[in-house]
Amino acid sequence: MYRRTFLSLSSAFVAAPALAASKLGLNEISAYLNAITSAKTDFTQINDDGTLSTGTLYIRRPGRMRFEYNPPEDLLVLASAGQVGIFDGRSNLENAERYPLRRTPLNLILERDVDLARRNMVVGHDFDGTATIVTAQDPEHPEYGRLQLKFTDGPVELRQWIVTDGQGSTTTVILGQLERPGALSSTLFSIEHEENLRNGDR
């Protein structure tokens, strides 16, 4: 389940809706994402089967993200250097399973210059009364899954991130308050560094 989830990044970010919400433009959303250099938040993940997982999410743009799960889950997902690395303690505790970042919807918000208005992956731009919904899918590879990003205004905030994988499974991740810490160490996101630690190298 976890490999499928993060290959298509089947996750959702949810928080309370903003008051007097209005539809946000793609350029406004792109500017918001480009302004994020580092971020940290707690999350609660609702898996497709209804089970719950918790953890901490770290972001360092461009190109880096870390999903650090709390026990009893033995799972760590890193994005860096153009790759997504999955450490699943049930099968590959020491070495990550790696996949190209560009093959996941995650790349859409981690790229250096986000420009949603010009990306052919954006196939929907809607408003549900409380949030602006941006739907993205690789038109050449729909089997990679579909990503829905939900944003509220006043100020602009990412509230929900839903990805449906090629089999129709979805996962929801409820975020806590997004923090803007100082510079986050690059080793926090390094797949190679994590492998070295797990293999006993220093």
pLDDT reported for residue 21: 74
Radius of gyration of the chain (CA): 16
Those residues with Cβ within 8 angstroms of residue 41's Cβ, 6 or more apart along the chain or in another chain: 56, 57, 175, 176, 177, 178, 179
Residue 64: name the closest of 85, 92, 87, 35 by CA: 85
Of all residues in the chain, what percent are helix, strand and coil, respectively (each to 5)? 20, 40, 45
pLDDT reported for residue 188: 95
Question: Would you state the structure tokens that stand for residue 189, as one six-digit string?
Answer: 């996101």
pTM for this structure?
0.81
The C-alpha torsion from 109 through 123 and 146 to 93, rounded to 10°, is -20
pLDDT reported for residue 17: 46
Which residue segments constitute the domains of the chain, with CATH numbers given?
2-198 (2.50.20.10)
pLDDT reported for residue 176: 78
pLDDT reported for residue 67: 94
- Cα–Cα separations (whole angstroms), residue 24 to 87, 128, 131, 156: 36, 11, 8, 8
pLDDT reported for residue 102: 81
- Could you read off the pLDDT tens digit of each residue along the chain, which spans 202 residues? 555 455 444 343 334 443 567 899 999 999 999 999 999 999 988 888 999 999 999 999 999 999 999 999 999 999 999 999 999 988 867 889 998 988 777 788 899 999 988 878 889 999 999 999 999 887 777 777 888 888 989 888 888 788 787 788 887 777 777 888 888 999 999 999 999 988 886 4
pLDDT reported for residue 87: 94
